[in-house]
């Protein structure tokens, strides 16, 4: 059988849609034609659309200025507009959502899709709850988009994304200011107050789609060391995969973590980016996170161009 033409590949390829909690860099979003729908951000009672009329940098500037931004789920009109556009084109779509345990967006997309099928009976949309956020969600989305661009079978792309969401992506992170976690109900007031006095840094992970504190260490240096240890344990020695690193406006600690992962564990492929507006509003300034696929059986095989990012 001969090689498929570009037109044939476009016909069979899924359109990959996600939301702005994914924290993928803009160049990768554009390269793989990923449609990223905006979460809402509120600052001083003014509403913004993440990535459209407010940038992540502006959100961090607001936090530095003492403001407390909040977020809202992707608005219905943004979801409806995107899905109708692809339904009109006859495109099959895969929506990879931010964790349903942290946002109502997953359920909203499903409800909008149900309504749309009354008018577009043949519209094919699969909605996957990634149970992830930031570059955990981003790595799942990027892999799906790369498979789609390569002309992979839609069923295979969907199956891989579902397996990743259920089993394969670890989120390991620490934060500087326990006050943000206290306001979000993640830690008690006493823990936040004493943690600030004693320079205690919580280590958190995502379990069943929720952010869970599971360990405490003293100081940022120990937090970074412990994150590296956990990556080694949870990646099962699979040094050939892509590592995602995001930071809450502390690029130096992200670079330090990247160097340690490269020099001590042999990782060579990285995506490093700011923690986006959605999670920055909940963890504050100074946090850092690592995202790693935890199975050698389903390696995150991203393109060589990502090496050294």
CATH number for the domain spanning 262: value is 3.30.1180.10
Q: 133 and 224: one domain?
A: no
Measured distance CA(96)–CA(19) in Å, rounded = 8
Is 98 domain-assigned? Answer: yes
> Quick one: 187 and 152 in the same domain?
no
Contact predicate 291/302, CB 8 Å = no
**E strand intervals along the chain:** 15-19, 35-37, 40-43, 46-49, 70-72, 93-97, 125-129, 169-174, 200-207, 210-218, 242-247, 269-274, 288-293
| 55 and 88 assigned to the same domain | yes
Which of the listed residues 111, 145, 167 is the one where a domain comes to its end? 167
Other CB atoms within a 10 A radius of the CB of residue 6 amount to 8
Residue 189 lies in a domain: yes
pLDDT of residue 51: 96
Beginning with the edge strand found earlier in the chain, give each strand of the sheet holding 46-49 in spatial order.
46-49, 40-43, 70-72
Q: Examine the fold and report which residue of 139, 167, 195 is the final residue of a domain before the chain moves on.
A: 167
Listed residue (169, 175, 142, 146) closest to 286, CA to CA: 175
pLDDT given at position 306: 36
Whether residues 60 and 146 share a domain: the answer is: yes
pLDDT of residue 233: 87
First to last CA, the chain: 37
Strands 46-49 vs 200-207: parallel, antiparallel or unpaired: unpaired
Tell me which residue range forms the domain holding 194.
Answer: 169-306
pTM of the model: 0.88
Asked whether residue 33 falls in the same domain as residue 129, the answer is yes
Q: How many CA atoms lie within 13 A of 33 on its CB side?
A: 11
Backbone angles phi, psi at 128, to 5 degrees: -115, 125
288 part of a folded domain:
yes
Task: Examine the domain organization and report whether 216 and 255 are in the same domain.
Answer: yes
Q: Is 36 among the domain residues?
A: yes
Residues 173 and 288 grouped into a single domain = yes
- Please say which residue of 127, 144, 167 terminates a domain: 167
**Integer Cα distance of 148 and 70 in angstroms:** 34
Q: Is residue 1 part of a domain?
A: no
Residues 13 and 119 occupy one common structural domain: yes
> CB-hemisphere CA count at 13 Å for 228?
21
What span, in angstroms and rounded, lies between the C-alpha atoms of 188 and 210?
A: 17
**Domain tally, the chain:** 2
Residue 47 bridge partners (DSSP): 42
C-alpha to C-alpha distance for 143 and 139, rounded to whole angstroms: 6
Quickly tell me which residue has 């099962």 as its tokens. Answer: 236
In the three-class reduction of DSSP (H, G, I as helix; E, B as strand; rest coil), residue 130 is classed as coil
Q: Are residues 118 and 217 in the same domain?
A: no
Reported as half-sphere exposure (CB side, CA atoms, 13 A), residue 240 has a value of 9
- pLDDT at residue number 282: 82
Residues 175 and 163 reside in one and the same domain: no
Q: Note the pLDDT of residue 182.
A: 57
Q: What CATH number should be reported for the domain holding residue 80?
A: 3.40.50.10170
**Same structural domain, 180 and 149:** no
Query: Tens digit of pLDDT for each residue in 210-225?
Result: 888 778 888 889 999 9
User: Is residue 108 within 8 Å of 79, Cβ to Cβ?
Assistant: yes
How does DSSP classify residue 167?
I
d(CA 219, CA 226): 11
- SS3 category, 238: coil
The span from the CA of 281 to the CA of 232, in Å, is: 29
Q: Is residue 280 part of a domain?
A: yes
The reply to whether 29 and 150 lie within a common domain is yes
Residue 300 located in a structural domain? yes
| 166 three-class SS | helix
Low-confidence ranges of the chain (pLDDT < 50): 1-12, 186-198, 296-309
Q: Closest by alpha carbon to 24, among 275, 212, 248, 238?
A: 275
Pick from 179, 172, 211: which is nearest to 195 by CA?
A: 179
The radius of gyration computed from the CA coordinates of the chain, to the nearest angstrom, equals 19
Q: Token digits for 283?
A: 């963890």
């Amino acid at each position: 059988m001969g090689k498929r033409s570009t037109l044939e590949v476009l016909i069979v390829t899924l359109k990959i849609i996600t939301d702005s909690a994914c924290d993928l860099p803009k160049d990768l979003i554009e390269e793989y034609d990923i449609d990223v729908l905006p979460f809402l951000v509120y600052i001083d009672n003014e509403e913004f659309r993440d990535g459209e009329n407010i940038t992540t940098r502006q959100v961090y500037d607001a936090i530095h200025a003492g403001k407390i931004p909040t977020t809202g789920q992707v608005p219905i009109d943004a979801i409806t507009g995107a899905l109708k556009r692809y339904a009109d084109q006859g495109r099959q779509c895969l929506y990879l959502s931010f964790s349903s345990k942290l946002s109502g967006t997953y359920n909203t997309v499903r409800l909008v899709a149900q309504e749309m099928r009354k008018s577009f009976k043949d519209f094919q949309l699969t909605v996957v709850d990634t149970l992830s956020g930031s570059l955990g969600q981003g790595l799942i989305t990027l892999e799906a988009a790369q498979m789609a661009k390569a002309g992979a079978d839609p069923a295979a792309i969907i199956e891989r994304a579902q397996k990743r969401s259920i089993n394969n992506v670890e989120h390991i992170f620490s934060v500087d200011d326990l006050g943000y976690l206290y306001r979000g109900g993640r830690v008690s007031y006493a823990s936040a107050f004493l943690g600030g006095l004693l320079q205690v840094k919580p280590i958190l992970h995502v379990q069943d789609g929720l952010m869970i504190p599971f360990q405490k260490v003293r100081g940022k240096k120990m937090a970074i060391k412990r994150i590296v240890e956990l990556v080694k344990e949870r990646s099962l020695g699979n040094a050939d995969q892509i590592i995602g690193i995001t930071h809450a406006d502390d690029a130096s600690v992200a670079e330090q973590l990247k160097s340690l992962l490269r020099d001590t564990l042999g990782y060579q492929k990285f995506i490093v980016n700011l923690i986006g507006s959605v999670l920055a509003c909940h963890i504050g300034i100074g946090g850092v996170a690592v995202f790693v696929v935890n199975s050698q059986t389903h390696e995150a095989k991203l393109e060589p161009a990502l090496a050294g990012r």
